Chain A
């Protein structure tokens, strides 16, 4: 009996180990590939001398747009994150703390959930028309506008959850001392939930950083093109530059690795937001 249980335990561990290997192998493989010379990739060599050529080409080869893409992605994702977190934390605090006339907060939360459900392409279509009309086609501005509105639902729901958990007693005493609503928000509530705000900011940043469809529709030169579009472009021309593409994918994924480690505990909450369960 005891032996049977032991065998089962070993088997279970083996299965799980195999799954972990399958899950991590593609990342491992792309990193390996990024250090291979073109010829080593083509010849399918498993043994090779590592080289930094692909990275050097990406950054310094004449005509390489990669640094531009990296810069664009950083600017767009950072600005969108900043705007989203400022606006969403104000609104989430207000909705968490106040009774509204005509249930304004319920309507807003419902609309925000609706925004989360719909296909991004359904908003991309009118945005395309708007961008052409306003002369914002192929600018970082239109990307920031789009990412703000498409990702703000996430931030509002997450932050409202954090504020709801915060006991009102903290602010009541501040009100007695003559603190304004904004003061209570800025000096008391926001600092207490700051780790939640950080996690929200990271999620929103990743969502904007990873977005592909809208950037593909809205940009056509390196003036605004972001990394996902540029990276896919490396693989779509006549000859696929696998080495450079692998290097680009590796660099592109680094922030995600770091953030994944930082926000593990909030992850379940972020990924299932608004769907009726609390993290």
Chain B
């Protein structure tokens, strides 16, 4: 008994460094973020409590709402494209896939978003980018991809899809290869077409894994900043300004830390509710 008690005290002691770090560097800053979102900041006066003034500003701030809408467009378009392409590829290469190729596929998702952004800026460059010069060779006049407000959003979505489709692909492929082959045998004996096998067997069996891949990609995609900031900085105008960029601009370019904190707090509340409800939905599925 004595030994057991001493053992649990010792394990508690092993937790102490983590607790210190979490309290001083995350709980305290988070409380401070909440305080900041109810105050205004200026270099001369520091922080001053202003009540709900930031919130009123947010309510009437069309640029903020606009950037939220753009965030949803960006996330929805990117993630659905990643899913469709990833699933299609996984179905195509199922069973004949070499592990050497896997190394190539995982590199894009590990490379820093900043580097990815810079590389694609070089590719997209209107006057000496490789994309336009390749297009020219087959007789198509290329555009200025990142500077044209009509196509800039599509151009950055392409980069996002390029970087993370392999991730979705690898997860779905692992899922596909773990499906029981007897079921497909039986379906074939019963005369099911490939489309029927896909619709009635693969999709339902794979759906938990698809949902997990979706959850993970959406949660990460909402946080995008680096790549986009390097490629367009929200431009041209505000054509590609998603919410993280707007928060950055408000807080650190315009030095309105109070208002920036409120925007950040609202987005945190949104993303946490989104993730938690998605996860509890997944749990319910698993139990059923």
Task: Say whether chain B's binding surface is mostly helix, strand, loop, or mixed.
Answer: helix
User: Which chain A residues border B28 with CB–CB below 8 Å?
Assistant: 126
**Interface residue total, chain B, C-beta cutoff 8 A:** 89
Please measure, in the bound complex, the distance between the C-alpha atom of A98 and the C-alpha atom of B110, giving whole angstroms: 34
Minimum CB–CB distance for A38 against chain B, Å: 11
Given contacts A20-B101, A210-B113, contact A91 B123 (CB under 8 A): no
Q: Is the CB of A118 within 8 A of B268?
A: yes
Q: Any chain B CB within 8 A of the CB of A99?
A: yes
Q: Is the CB of B115 within 8 A of A253?
A: yes
Minimum CB–CB distance for A220 against chain B, Å: 11
User: Which chain A residues border B97 with CB–CB below 8 Å?
Assistant: 16
Q: Is the CB of A260 within 8 A of B103?
A: yes
Minimum CB–CB distance for A34 against chain B, Å: 10
Minimum CB–CB distance for B83 against chain A, Å: 15
User: Which chain B residues border A23 with CB–CB below 8 Å?
Assistant: 104-105, 108, 162, 166
Q: Is the CB of A126 within 8 A of B112?
A: no
1/0 per residue B244-283: CB within 8 Å of A? Answer: 1001100110000100110011011001100100010011
Minimum CB–CB distance for B127 against chain A, Å: 8
User: Which chain A residues border B33 with CB–CB below 8 Å?
Assistant: 122-123, 125-126
Please measure, in the bound complex, the distance between the C-alpha atom of A51 and the C-alpha atom of B7, giving whole angstroms: 63
A123-B33, A180-B10 given; 15 more Cβ-contact pairs under 8 Å: A12-B96, A33-B122, A44-B130, A90-B14, A93-B11, A119-B223, A119-B247, A121-B225, A125-B36, A125-B251, A129-B47, A145-B25, A152-B22, A232-B114, A252-B112
Residues of A near any B CB (own CB < 8 A)? 9, 12-13, 15-16, 19-20, 22-24, 26-27, 29-30, 33, 41-44, 86-88, 90-91, 93-95, 97-100, 104-105, 108, 111-112, 114-115, 117-123, 125-130, 145-146, 148-149, 152, 156, 175, 180-182, 185, 206, 209-210, 212-213, 217, 228, 231-232, 235, 242, 245-246, 249, 252-253, 256-257, 259-261, 264, 267-268, 271-272, 275-277
